[in-house]
Amino acid sequence: MTGETSSPSAEESRLITACRQGDPDAFADLIRLHERRVFRLASRFFSQRADVEEVAQETFLIAWTKLHTYRADAPFEHWLTRVCLNCCYARLRKARPTEELTIDLAESASADPDARIEVARLLRKLSPSDRFVLQLLYGEGWSVVEIAERTGWSRSKVKVRAHRARRKLRRVLEEGPRS
């Protein structure tokens, strides 16, 4: 988390204005400013490079077509992050149940490869929405407030989803090592 709460920089504002006037070169510059963040965020949810690239591409396509909805009352990065999260969430909901999700939670849990594999196995048993909220909380390290701001959910919804996801994870853990 960067902790940014200010509006866009002068350069970013200039690029956004030019984009809104239809300048594709300005949009290419805006993409260059934020592509690392979008790819990093998408890679938190998908292990296949093709999936990450598709989510990033969809994020930037939506950003181009919906740029008129950006109000500049928060950093552009926050708005773009929200677009990316929505793309990730939509893709997770459509994903095949066996599609592997990159679980950085496992890395933070332990350096032991067996523990990482076990955490990933347990998380695969959860629904996409449960994995999504846990990844944001523990993988990204975002607070409830940050998740609410970036997803457009209410704080209550984030808290309820997180509580339910943790409860389901606890149940899966208690069931033991069934594949």
Which CATH number fits the domain that encloses residue 33? Answer: 1.10.1740.10
| Statement to judge: residues 126 and 98 lie in one domain | no
| The residue type at 48 | Q
pLDDT above 70: percentage of residues in the chain:
80
| Statement to judge: residues 122 and 66 lie in one domain | no
| Statement to judge: residues 51 and 93 lie in one domain | yes
* pLDDT category of residue 124 using cuts at 50, 70 and 90: confident
Give yes or no for residue 120 having a pLDDT over 80.
Answer: no
19-27 own/partner pairs: CB under 8 Å, 24+ apart: 19/64, 19/67, 20/67, 20/68, 27/64
Contacts of 125 (CB under 8 A, 6+ apart): 172
| Statement to judge: residues 113 and 52 lie in one domain | no
* pLDDT category of residue 100 using cuts at 50, 70 and 90: very low
| Statement to judge: residues 87 and 7 lie in one domain | yes
| Statement to judge: residues 83 and 12 lie in one domain | yes
What is the model's pLDDT at position 174? 79
The total domain count for the chain is: 2
Domain end call among 36, 70, 102: 102
Quote the crossing angle between the two packed helices 144-151 and 155-175, to the nearest 10°: 110
| Statement to judge: residues 8 and 29 lie in one domain | yes
Domain of 144, CATH number, reads: 1.10.10.10
| Statement to judge: residues 79 and 131 lie in one domain | no
The predicted-structure confidence for 43-96, as pLDDT tens digits, reads as follows 888 878 898 999 999 999 999 899 989 888 878 888 999 999 999 988 887 765
- Average pLDDT value for the chain: 81
Closest Cα partner for 48 from 120, 13, 99?
Answer: 99
Q: Has this prediction a pTM greater than 0.85?
A: no
Alpha-carbon torsion 148, 139, 78, 28, what sign? negative
| Statement to judge: residues 98 and 174 lie in one domain | no
- Average pLDDT (127-148) is 86
Q: Which domain holds residue 45?
A: 1-102
| Statement to judge: residues 119 and 89 lie in one domain | no
H runs (alpha helix) in the chain: 10-20, 24-43, 49-66, 76-94, 104-109, 113-124, 128-134, 144-151, 155-175
